[in-house]
Amino acid sequence: MNRWLSLILLLTSFVPRLCAQEFTEAIEDNSFLIEEAYNQEDRVVQHIFNGYYLADPKDMMYTFTQEWPMGGQTHQISYTIAYQSLNGRFSGLGDALVNYRYQLWGEKDWCWIAPRLSIILPTGKSTEGLGSGVVGVQLSLPASKRWTNEFVSHVNVGATILPNVEGLTSAGNSVRRTLPTYSMGASGIYLVSENVNFMLELLCSYSSSIGESGAVEFSSATTVSPGFRIAINLGKLQIVPGLAIPISFTSTTRNLNVFAYLSFEHPF
């Protein structure tokens, strides 16, 4: 892990400055693994497509998110729909999310802050591992700060609660447990120009599952993800494609994964 981190930090430290001009605008989008604290501007909608390939197990997840302002930038609603393929065995819809974000701090404050509350809907088949089978709640606190002309950082703290999830013990008995997940992460965005960004994201999670004995078991994982994104402006339409190579670590594994991103943002 230390070798990977050293290599990533070395590369990001010596990225050549391809554009030395001063600029005021920046891509204010969702990052890939880290949530940015910018609500949608009034009468501007965003459509976000994500694809995530996990090397071990060979799982694939696709998500579509649509974000809408509610009468201005202060309030935002959105929803997320997921489709999963689990190691070629099961495929189908995953659990869906309905989200509300409040722009607590904005452009005139020291940083941007936008707390989010999400309701998790059990649209995925729990018997096939595509969902939890219960209605859950997710809380997130993203903060964003532009420090210089070229550098922006984002910080996230979050928690997910899934109550009364059903599981089986090794003896075949059915049990129900409440499963929490906690996460924290940060990202650094280097602005080569207004329309080209290099990104480095770090995400740490502490998740739970039902073990063979029926007890709640916890595990941790860390993901380091270098990537880039570009903005293509066509009149009032902004298209943002991006690509990242997340490297995930647990106590026993290290995997190289692939993350693809595509966003469309336009007035309505």
Instruction: Please check whether residue 83 lies inside any domain of the structure.
Output: no
Percent of the chain beyond pLDDT 90?
83
Instruction: Please check whether residue 91 lies inside any domain of the structure.
Output: no
| Total Cβ atoms within 10 A of residue 25 | 11
Instruction: Please check whether residue 79 lies inside any domain of the structure.
Output: no
Instruction: Please check whether residue 235 lies inside any domain of the structure.
Output: yes
Beta-bridge mates of residue 204: 184, 222
Q: What is the pLDDT of residues 226-238, one digit of tens each?
A: 999 999 999 999 9
Q: What is the pLDDT of residues 155-188, one digit of tens each?
A: 999 999 999 999 999 998 999 999 999 999 999 9
What whole-number distance in Å separates Cα of residue 207 and Cα of residue 218?
Answer: 6
**Apex CA 247: angle with CA 87 and CA 30, to 5°?**
90
Cis peptide bond N-terminal to 57, omega within 30: yes
**Looking at residue 21, what is its pLDDT?**
56
Average pLDDT, the chain: 92
Under a CB-based contact definition with an 8 Å cutoff, are residues 45 and 68 in contact? Answer: yes
* Domain with 188 in it: 2-62+142-267
Q: What is the pLDDT of residues 12-43, one digit of tens each?
A: 454 444 444 567 788 998 799 999 999 999 99
**Looking at residue 18, what is its pLDDT?**
45
Instruction: Please check whether residue 257 lies inside any domain of the structure.
Output: yes
- Buried-exposed string 186-205: b where 16+ CB fall within 10 A, e elsewhere: bbbbbbbbebebbbbbbbeb
| Number of domains making up the chain | 1
Q: Is the pLDDT of residue 88 over 70?
A: yes
What whole-number distance in Å separates Cα of residue 117 and Cα of residue 235?
Answer: 33
